[in-house]
Amino acid sequence: MSNTLTTTMTGTDLSMDTNLKDETGGVSLWKDAFRRLLKNKMAVIGGTFLLLEILLAIATPWIAPYDFEAQNLELWVEAPSALHWFGTDTLGRDLFTRVLYGGRISLMVGILASLVSVAIGVTYGAISGYLGGRVDSLMMRIVDVLYALPFIFLVIILMVYFGRNIYLLFVALGMTQWLTMARIVRGQVISLKEKEFVQAATSMGVRKSTIIFKHLIPNCLGPVIVFMTLTVPTVILEEAFLSFLGLGVQAPMASWGTLISNGVEVMEIRSTVLLFPAMALGLTLFSLNFLGDGLRDALDPKGAKD
């Protein structure tokens, strides 16, 4: 059907159609961005390292050489050896095992809390920016007020009220992190809603919710993803801080934050107890930052050179 129709039409437009390389399907902007990301060496290294860490974290119960709470007080802060790769801690527990388990907690907190903050922040920001006017002012003043509250105060209240619970920790950290996300998304949405494709959708009678979720949010995911890679390390650090205060992960469970604070105590006797968890955390943060940088460049169409 289309053949007979196309042959009746003439014009340069159609001949250009055949020049397109891709015959089967389209190249989405996401695929394009991914291709650009692969060209960035540091981002690829960072991404690979993170992927490896996540795999290790998932596999930890099967690959960990020791039980994470098995104590052996005769092996008090041993140096790294063939039996204990990272040495042992102040209670003679295998540090390698504990770093693996700590990574599980830290990464889980980082990723889940970031997802919580993204879910709240993106929805809130998009609605605020799209509706505009008084609703927008009100919603943003609420954000301002929350900004003014010290986050630790909020977390402490949540933890005390609902009891200490690792999952609640995700929610609590996520709930303190969504504010900046909401502002970023709101700004994006305000500029996006003036775009003609959004106005076209409005004039076609597309529902507001559809416009928000199908046009506005997908088009501001770039900055959201970049900001998320920066939220993950913030959350990991905050969890370390909370654990240090005794509000986070409870012993004998460990996160990188608690391992580091334990390591600090014996740093003068055996620096490796501090060094290994600190390196694990440091390398993760570096990787996340490199990946974030790479993603920002890859998703920004203006920075695209090819």
Partner 1 sequence: MSTTVLSVQNLKVHYPVRKGFLNFSERKFLKAVDGVTIELAKGETLGLVGESGCGKSSLGRAIIRLNKPTAGHVQINGVDFLALKGEKLRRARTDIQMIFQDPYGSLDPRMTVHEILSEPLQAHLKLSRKEMDLRIRQALARVSLRDRALKKYPHEFSGGQRQRIAIARALVLEPKILIADEPVSSLDVSVQAEILNLLKEIKDDLGLSMIFIAHNLSVVKYISDRIAVMYLGKIVEIGDRQSLYQSPQHPYTQALVSAVPIPDPKLERTRQRIAVTGELPSPMNPPKGCAFNTRCPLAVDRCREQAPALETFSDGRWVSCFEVEKKKAAN
The site for partner 1 (CB under 8 A) is made up of 1-2, 5-6, 8-9, 11-14, 16-17, 20, 22-30, 195-197, 199-207, 210, 214-215, 218-219
Please identify, using beta-carbon distances, which residue of 74 and 203 lies nearer to partner 1: 203
Nearest distance, CB of residue 291 and partner 1, angstroms:
22
* 41 vs 208, beta carbon nearer partner 1: 208
CB of 23 to partner 1, least distance (A): 7
Give the nearest distance from C-beta 226 to partner 1 in angstroms.
Answer: 17
Closer CB to partner 1, 7 or 268, in the complex: 7
Which of 84/215 has CB closer to partner 1?
Answer: 215
Q: Shortest gap between Cβ of 292 and partner 1 (angstroms)?
A: 21
Per DSSP, the residues of the chain read -HHHHHHH--SHHHHHHHH-S--SS---HHHHHHHHHHT-HHHHHHHHHHHHHHHHHHHHHHH-SS-TT---GGGTTPPP-SSSTT-B-TTS-BHHHHHHHHHHHHHHHHHHHHHHHHHHHHHHHHHHHHH-HHHHHHHHHHHHHHHHS-HHHHHHHHHHHH---HHHHHHHHHHHHHHHHHHHHHHHHHHHTTSHHHHHHHHTT--HHHIIIIIIHHHTHHHHHHHHHHHHHHHHHHHHHHHHTTSSSPTTS--HHHHHHHHHHTTTT-THHHHHHHHHHHHHHHHHHHHHHHHHHHH-GGG---
CB of 221 to partner 1, least distance (A): 9
Q: Which is nearer to partner 1, 126 or 288 (CB)?
A: 126
